[in-house]
Structure 1
C-alpha cells in the first residue's frame, strides 16, 4: 500500500514502501473508519462577548450533539442517521439559531430553512420559509425520502409536514427572550442588523459512516429582521449543503448570499474530486522504474488518499475566495478517507469533530485547535 503525504501546498510527494503486515492491519482498521463534524454557527465569537456560563452551556450542547452522532456511527449506523440525530439536538437547544431559538423576521415571525443530502446516491431534500415543524431537519429528510421533489417552501412545505405526521408546534415554541429582544432592538432602531447578527447560529453536521457513505445537513432560522421571504444558503443544495461519496460532505454557516454566489459547498467537493486523480498520477510518476522503464508498482485509487493538509488547503482556498467577495462564515467537512474538519474566516465558530481513531473535541474561538 502506498502512502502519500503532501505539503501544505501539495508540492512535495513522499512515497512509502508497499504494504507490510502492519500496513495490511491498517487497511483492516480503515474498513471500520467513521468521522463526523458539527457546527453551531460562525461569526464575531470572542471571549468578551460570551459569559463563562454561556461558554459552558454551548460546549455542553455541542458535546451532546457530537456524542449522539458518534454513537450512531460507532454502532454501525448510517451517516444520514448520524447527522439527523446530531442536528435534532442542536435544533432543540435555544443557544442556536435553528428550531427552538430561531431568530425573528421583520414581521416578528419565524421562517426556518433546512436541507439534507445523501452522498451515496446524491438524493437531497430541502425546505424553506417553514414554521410549525418542531425539527426542520426531519422535514427536509422527509422531502428527500417521501416526495419526488428536492425543495419545498412556505405553506406547501408546512402542509407536507403535517401529512408526513411530523411533530408540530405552535408559533410561540421557537421564541426565546433573547431572540425577541434582538428583533425589538432592531425594529426600534437601537441597533443595526449587523450589530444584532454578531454571530450566525445556523447548525449543521457532516459524516462518513463505516460503509464509506457521506451525508450532510444544515438547519437555520435565517437572519434577524429578514424581509420579503428571504432565503439564504442553508436550504440550497450546493451552496450551504452538499454530499458526494466521491469527494466530501459540507455544511456551511455565514452570510448566505455570498455562499450562494460562490456555490461554496459544491465548489469544495468539486475541487477535491478533481484533485484526487491528479494526485494519484503525480504519485505514480514518483514510483521507481525497472530496467525496462516500467513502473515497479501501480498506484491504485483504493489505496490512495489526499492528505489532511491538502484537504484543508482546498477548504481554506474557497473560504478565502468567499472573503474576497465580502462574505463571512465557515464550513465543516468530512471526506471519504475519514478526515473531519472546518474552515472559517470569522473570529470564531461553534464546532466539534470526532473520528474512529479516538478524536473527540469541541471548540468555540478561533485560537482553539
Structure 2
C-alpha cells in the first residue's frame, strides 16, 4: 500500500483571461477542501466519507458550478445532480433534477446506503431526501447574481455553454436552420463559467471512492442530465481506482470516460497516469474534458485536453499541489 491520496477539481476548461483574483479565490477554495480531506484522512475516516465531506464543502461555496452557485436552466431555475461511488463492492448512488436539496452529494450517498436503488431523480429523489431528513432550501438559495447575468448572455447568444475554444466567427451561418437550434459553443472568452466539482480518495486501507456534483450547463434544457450522475461516465470507483470527470458532459457520456480509466488499468495493465493519459487522448473524440484519479497504491493523477482545469491533489508522503494551468 502506498498510503492515502486525495484529489479535487472545480471544473475543466478555464478562460485564459480569468482575472487573477478569481484564480486566487479558486486556489484558496481548492486548498481549503484539500486540507479538510487531509485532516479527515489523518483521522482515519474512510475514503467514501472523505469524498462526501469534501464535495459538500464545494457545493456550499458559490464559486464553482454545484450546489449554491449552480448553472441555471433556460427557465432560470437550478437543477442539480450528483453521484458517489465506493470502490469497495462497487456500491453507488446518484441523483438528478434536484431543486431544493442543499447538498446533492449527501442525497446520492443516502440513495446508496438507505435505498434499494442506485439512482433517483426529480420529485422522487427530493421526496426520498425529505424522508431521510436532509436539509431542504428554496431554489433561490442556489441562484447567484453572476449566474443570472450569464444566463442573460447565453440567451442573447442562443448558446448552451460558455466556451472559449470555438471561435464565434461563422456562427451566423447557423441562422438558416429552421428555428435555429441552440449552439453548444460560441460565447466570447470573458463569460466562461467554471464547471462541475469532484473528489477522489484512496484511504490508508487502500479503499478508493469518488464523488461528483454539478449544476450542469448554463441555459440547458430543463430535464437535461449530464455525465456527473452517470456511473461509468462522470464518476467511477472500483478496487483499482477512483475517478471523477468534468467538461463536456455529452462527450464524457459517449466515451464512458471514468470507467475506461479503470478498464485500461484492468485489461491493458496500464498504470494510473498512463490510463488517464490514454483515455483523455483516445476516448474524447472532439470533446473537451478533464479528470482526476487515485489508485489503490496511493497514486494520484489528472489529465485534461482543454485550457486548464481547477484542481488540487495531495498524498500521504507530503506531496501537495494546487493548480489551474498545464
TM-score, scaled to structure 1? 0.78
Change (3 A) 1:184 1:199: closer
* Inter-partner Cα distance in structure 1 for 2:255 and 2:325: 25
TM-score, length of structure 2 as denominator length: 0.89
> Which runs of structure 1 show a deviation greater than 6 angstroms over 4 or more consecutive aligned residues?
none
- CA separation in 1, counterparts of 2:207 and 2:61? 28
| CA drift at 1:190 | 7.5
The aligned residue for residue 254 of structure 1 is 247
2:320 corresponds to 1:360: yes
The reply on whether 1:180 has 2:148 as its aligned counterpart is yes
Matched, 1:327 2:287: yes
- Structure 1 residue matching 2:228: 3-state secondary structure: coil
**Does the 8 A contact of 1:128 with 1:152 survive in 2?**
yes
5 Å-filtered alignment, 1:215-364, equals 215-245=209-239, 247-276=240-269, 310-323=271-284, 325-364=285-324
**Partner SS for 2:268:** helix
Larger C-alpha radius of gyration, 1 or 2?
1
Whether the 8 Å CA contact 1:200–1:253 is kept in 2: the answer is no
C-alpha distance in 2 between matches for 1:356 and 1:118: 20
Shift of 1:119: 0.3
Aligned residues: 300
Q: What does residue 49 of structure 2 align with?
A: 81
C-alpha displacement of 1:191: 6.5
* Counterpart position of 2:196: 202
Counterpart of 2:110 in structure 1 is 142
CA deviation string 1:310-364 (max 9, x = no partner): 42122111111234x2111111000011001201001100000010000112111
Distance 2:262 2:194 in 1: 23
Classify 1:72/1:187 alpha carbon distance in 2 versus 1 (closer, same or farther; 3 Å): same
> Which ranges in structure 2 are unaligned for 5 or more consecutive residues?
162-184
Mapped to 2, the partners of 1:211 and 1:313 lie a distance apart of 23
Residues 121 and 190 (structure 1 numbering): CA distance in 2 closer, same or farther, change over 3 Å?
closer
For structure 1, the 5+ residue unaligned runs are 1-29, 277-305
Structure 1, residues 9-40: CA drift from partner, whole Å, max 9, x if none? Answer: xxxxxxxxxxxxxxxxxxxxx47x10001100
Matching residue of 1:161: 129
CA contact (8 A) 2:241 2:295 kept: yes
